Amino acid sequence: MNKRKAVIKNALFGFGGQFLVMLVGIIVPRMIMSGYGSEMNGLLATLGQIFVFIALLGAGVNQSSVNALYPPIKNSDHDAVSGIISVTQRYFNRVAAYYGICVLLFSAVGPFILKTSIDKTEVFLIILLEGAASVISLRFIESYNALLTADGRGYFISAVSLVNKLAVYLMKIVLSLMGVDILYLQAFGIVIALLRVVIYRQYMKKHYGWLIIKKADNAPPLRDRNSFLVTQIAWTVFSSTDMIILSVFLSAEFASVYNVYNMIFANLALLLNEVYANVSFLLGRTYNENIQEYEKYHDAYYSVFLGAMTIMMCVSTVMCLPFVRLYTRGINDINYIYPALPVLFSLVQLLSWSRYVPGNLTGLAGYAKKTSYISVMEAVINIIASLILVHFFGIYGVVAGTVIALPIKVVWCIYISDKKVIRRSYLKTVKILLANYLLFGCAVLTEKLIDFRINGFGTFLMWSAICLAAFTFMGAVLNIIANPKMLKYVKTIISQRKIQGNN
């Protein structure tokens, strides 16, 4: 398979799969709130964030393994690839064991530290079942994901993830409609995790029969693993503490409110991230081949992905409150309408995506260690600001704390990518940023000045489509003005020219 086919296939599977997951995933919290209450929805959302923290035990391994795999994959060096995957598997074996221990410990203490009226035994079992599925994934799947990502086969990861999530979501919808105990919902996740292992084993046997997982006790560690670990820990702390702070200092109901808004914006981010993650292998390969050629792709990716995220955030800013009103209609155990939250959540995503492409380059160019220090600083500022502001502004203060901390790493990543690696002026990057920030400003004004009269999902979809068309046109014009060569290099990426890869 050539690079063009890999890019297109990965993008289609990534976007299409995540879009279906997003649609079905929006239904599940509504079913949980209706069937089990806002408190249970807030508890499950909070536990999900806590398990993200526990998963940090394996953070850094995957990204450092992917970066290490690019050269041997390019040279078809099967022995070197097998060696790197063997080292990766050794790390994940340890991680799975440590993760299991953490799950047991958290199952024991979680029911006593979370502010909830749900029965402690039930909380204990929910935590235990939720964690078991992740242990299976870490032990038997994660090392393969590194190889598939570096080899441009992210479409397989996306496809399996799609089936996995859809199966879990659909089962949750069915069981919640039947009024079945919440524990059965959690137990079903373990069954799906075991099926994923079988699917992965068959795929790897068919396409990577030459791969040999051997003992790697004396093998050298993966490059920059600890730096990627620190960065990932910092980012997870940065992005996942809000709901935990709300559950501890306010209540699980407020975590449910946060989860409804976060669900909208996080799903949109995941939608774009699936595409980015599945085509960004081209950046890694190009950087290892030719830095001059890489620069062209760098600016094209930056304009396309930041522009796409900005357009989505513009539509979300305008249409978020009408959606929340429709989504939570009939649920009266807590107020879900907070007028300033759409702008704050949009800013979180917009600023985060302002450093995606430059941040990826810092890792490729060997600046992972220095970048990790900035990530730690960002996380500390976020936690301190959120802990202070939550007492004065409640849920607004928690999200504002995240917004306050974000610009630090944006500036750092742009400095490293433009000045240290590409060695050029900041002008092109600044133009791209200003174009998209201007577009977002137009969306904020639109939301304040226009009263969209929406009384049903049909009207909501109509206005959403109109906003999407308008902001897409404006975004395309502004980004082409800021980066006139964008279209040329986007066409190059998806052109018919066969650039042979090793996919």
The C-alpha atoms of residue 280 and residue 285 are separated, in whole angstroms, by: 9
- pLDDT for residue 50: 63
Number of CB atoms found within 10 A of residue 454's CB: 19
Residue type present at position 180: V
In the chain, the N- to C-terminal Cα span, in Å, equals 5
Number of CB atoms found within 10 A of residue 393's CB: 14
Q: Which ranges of 250-290 would DSSP assign to H, the alpha helix?
A: 252-279, 281-289
- pLDDT for residue 503: 41
Query: Taking CA 480 as the corner, what is the angle to CA 476 and CA 482, rounded to the nearest 5 degrees?
Result: 120
Sign of CA dihedral 134, 135, 138, 141: negative
Q: Which residues contact 212 (CB under 8 A, 6 or more apart)?
A: 82, 86
pLDDT under 50: residue ranges of the chain: 1, 496-503
The C-alpha atoms of residue 490 and residue 488 are separated, in whole angstroms, by: 6
DSSP string, 454-475: --SHHHHHHHHHHHHHHHHHHH
Joined together, the tokens standing for residue 497 give 């020219």
Q: Are 386 and 244 in contact (CB under 8 A)?
A: no
The C-alpha atoms of residue 50 and residue 131 are separated, in whole angstroms, by: 10
Q: Are 361 and 416 in contact (CB under 8 A)?
A: yes
Q: Which residues contact 91 (CB under 8 A, 6 or more apart)?
A: 58, 61, 222, 225
- pLDDT for residue 499: 39
Task: Phi first, then psi: give them for residue 340, nearest 5 degrees.
Answer: -90, -10
Domain boundaries along the sequence of the chain:
1-226
- Torsion, Cα 317 322 325 329, to 10 degrees, reads -140
Q: Are 246 and 398 in contact (CB under 8 A)?
A: yes
- In angstroms and rounded to an integer, the radius of gyration of the C-alpha atoms of the chain is 22
Joined together, the tokens standing for residue 50 give 């806590």
Closest CA to 66 of 164, 169, 147: 147
Tell me the CA distances in angstroms from 24 to 14, 88, 172, 188, 201, one per residue in order. Answer: 16, 33, 10, 17, 28
- pLDDT for residue 68: 79
Sign of CA dihedral 117, 121, 125, 131: positive
- pLDDT for residue 500: 37
Query: If you ran DSSP here, which 8-state letter would residue 55 be given?
Result: G
The C-alpha atoms of residue 474 and residue 454 are separated, in whole angstroms, by: 24
Q: Which residues contact 61 (CB under 8 A, 6 or more apart)?
A: 88, 91, 92, 95, 142, 146, 222, 225, 228, 229
Q: Is 337 left (phi over 0), alpha (psi -120 to 50) or beta?
A: beta
- pLDDT for residue 445: 92
The C-alpha atoms of residue 186 and residue 43 are separated, in whole angstroms, by: 13
Query: If you ran DSSP here, which 8-state letter would residue 354 be given?
Result: T
Q: Are 503 and 1 in contact (CB under 8 A)?
A: yes
Task: Phi first, then psi: give them for residue 479, nearest 5 degrees.
Answer: -75, -30
Tell me the CA distances in angstroms from 424 to 105, 286, 294, 295, 414, one per residue in order. Answer: 51, 18, 13, 10, 11
